[in-house]
Amino acid sequence: MPLGVLWRRVYEVTGGGWTRSGEAWVSTVFAYNVSLACNHCERPICVEVCPAQAFTKRDDGIVLLDTEKCLGCKCCSWACPYGAPQYDEQTGRMTKCTFCADSIDAGQPPACVAACPMRALDLGDRAELEARYGDLHTVYPLPKAELTQPSLVMTPHQDAARAAHESARVGNWEEIGTRPDE
């Protein structure tokens, strides 16, 4: 993996504060993590915008990037609301999570799912995952799911619903490396 390229990032969302109640200060601070890689969207904008047809969506839904075809125009990285395509300065081409397609083809789970010590990540058929985890496709700071229809369901943190209304923010941009506005 090239230096500075992170196919999966963990966003640390923080918010809330302290409010005074009589003589006491009450904490409303909250924090949660969102682990995110390419969501292999149903409507992948990277596939739409790429002028070189470097992106393809396989029949099983995995979105793959053929770096040999990439021009390095960066249009996909501008467009993706999940920051999945990332530019490799050394090669002058984009790079992206493959969902460990070779492992999947060999009947093995992706490396991130296999490695997560908290078993917070899973994979499977969409209907099966929705039955198990619900049909929520976004939490703060992710965008509205309608934009690209991500192949992602999640069980939200108990404070995730508050985040959008209580000036939450991502607290670890330095670790993640890129912001959506850079």
Partner 1 sequence: MKERSLIVFTILSQMAVGTFWTLGALYVWSTRQAGPGVAHELTSFGWPAISLVMVTGVVASFFHLGTRANAWRAFRSLSRSWLSREILFAVLFAGASTLLAVMQWLDWGTSAARDTIGVLAGLIGLTLVFTMGSAYRLRTIPAWNTWVTPASFFVTTFLLGALAAGALLIFPSKAPVGWTRMSLQGIAVWAVVLLGIELIIVPLWLSQLTGSEAATSSFVRITRKHGAIFKLRLALAVAGIAAASAALLEPCEGCLPTQGFSVLAALGLVLASEVLGRWLFYVARVRHGV
Size of the site for partner 1 (CB under 8 A): 39
Q: Cβ of residue 30: shortest distance to partner 1, in angstroms?
A: 18
Q: Does 83 engage in binding with partner 1 (CB under 8 A)? A: yes
Q: Does 147 engage in binding with partner 1 (CB under 8 A)? A: yes
Nearest residue (CB) to partner 1, 75 versus 153: 75
Q: Which of 4, 17, 143, 171 binds partner 1 (CB under 8 A)?
A: 143
Q: Which of 61, 141, 156, 177 binds partner 1 (CB under 8 A)?
A: 141
Residue type, 42: E
CA–CA separation, 126 and 175 (whole Å) = 31
Q: Does 126 engage in binding with partner 1 (CB under 8 A)? A: no
CA–CA separation, 141 and 83 (whole Å) = 12
- Per-residue HEC secondary structure of the chain comes to CCCCCCCCEEEEEEECCEEEECCEEEECCEEEEEEECCCCCCCCHHHHHCCCCCEEECCCCCEEECHHHCCCCCHHHHHCCCCCCEEECCCCEEECCCCCHHHHHCCCCCHHHHHCCCCCCCCCCHHHHHHHHCCCCCCCCCCCHHHCCCCCCCCCCCCHHHHCCCCCEECCHHHHCCCCCC
Q: Which of 10, 78, 120, 131 binds partner 1 (CB under 8 A)?
A: 78
Q: Does 175 engage in binding with partner 1 (CB under 8 A)? A: no
**Which span sits near partner 1 by CB under 8 A: 14-22, 75-83, 111-119, 128-136?**
75-83
Q: Does 87 engage in binding with partner 1 (CB under 8 A)? A: yes
Q: Cβ of residue 160: shortest distance to partner 1, in angstroms?
A: 14
Q: Which of 5, 6, 42, 74 binds partner 1 (CB under 8 A)?
A: 74
Q: Which of 3, 21, 24, 53 binds partner 1 (CB under 8 A)?
A: 53
Nearest residue (CB) to partner 1, 23 versus 182: 182
